[in-house]
Structure 1
Amino acid sequence: MRTLIIRLSSISDAKARFVNAGQKALEGVIVPATPSVNFLSYDDMHRVLAPSRLAIVKAMAGQGPLAIREVARRVDRDVQAVHKDVTTLVNAGVLDRTEAGVEFPYDQLHFEFDVKAAA
């Protein structure tokens, strides 16, 4: 099953993962790439992955490239509004734009973050 990981992480966390993967590669350890999208905060993530946009992602999961009009039909929404949401998702790296349309080339999203009490 192809999964896109959604993370809340700082730039330093992402850098540490990158450095760690580089060190393993230099040691000859093969580390498979894990597709992921990182957000700096919950608010940033929620702005991009609002409920209406998550509905688009769910409707597109594993379906291959789709035209915006088809996506709008599947989520029963206005084409212009869906186009705006799809553009946001493409810009965030959640969806891919291809010659055949837009695509969510995964079967699912996995959210990987902790929610902590305020300090």
Structure 2
Amino acid sequence: MTTLTVKIESLEDTMSRMGSAIRQEAAPSQDAVATLSFPSWDAVHRVLAPKRLNILKVLVGHGPLSIREVARRVGRDFKGVYTDVDALVKNGVVEKAPGGIVFPYDRIHFDFDIRAAA
């Protein structure tokens, strides 16, 4: 099972984690965890807004789907879904594939705390 973990962390933390991963010589496990990091909650919400999360729910467990089919399954117009899919592709959440777009993960895990403003 592959999981996409969404985190809120600084650029320094992201780079440190990537450096550690590169230095590890062990082969990746079956339960690979990909990470998508954002600097703030606002950035998370811009990319993974509720309508975009609905698109991901439709894509989980399927092979490539056309944008038109995704729009049909989420009950939205093509243009709006196209705009959302474009944003998801540009942010590395979904991938273009022959025959459409694909979400190459089985699930999403959100891993962050939201604290009170200082």
Could you state the TM-score of these two structures normalised by the residue count of structure 2?
0.90
Distance in 2, Cα, partners of 1:72 & 1:39: 27
Alignment-derived partner of residue 65 in structure 1: 64
Report the secondary structure of 2:114's partner residue: coil
Distance in 2, Cα, partners of 1:98 & 1:24: 30
Q: Where do residues 1-119 of structure 1 align in structure 2 (5 Å cutoff)? A: 1-25=1-25, 30=26, 32=28, 34-119=33-118
Please state how far the C-alpha of 1:19 moved relative to its aligned partner. 2.2
How many residues in Structure 1 have an aligned counterpart in Structure 2? Answer: 115
Report the secondary structure of 1:62's partner residue: coil
Distance in 2, Cα, partners of 1:99 & 1:45: 28
Gaps of 5+ in 2: none
Report the secondary structure of 1:35's partner residue: strand
Report the AA paired with residue 112 of structure 1: D
Distance in 2, Cα, partners of 1:75 & 1:93: 21
Distance in 2, Cα, partners of 1:86 & 1:65: 13
Distance in 2, Cα, partners of 1:43 & 1:31: 35
Q: Deviations over 1:3-28 (max 9, x none)?
A: 11111111100111122223433xxx
Report sequence identity in percent: 48
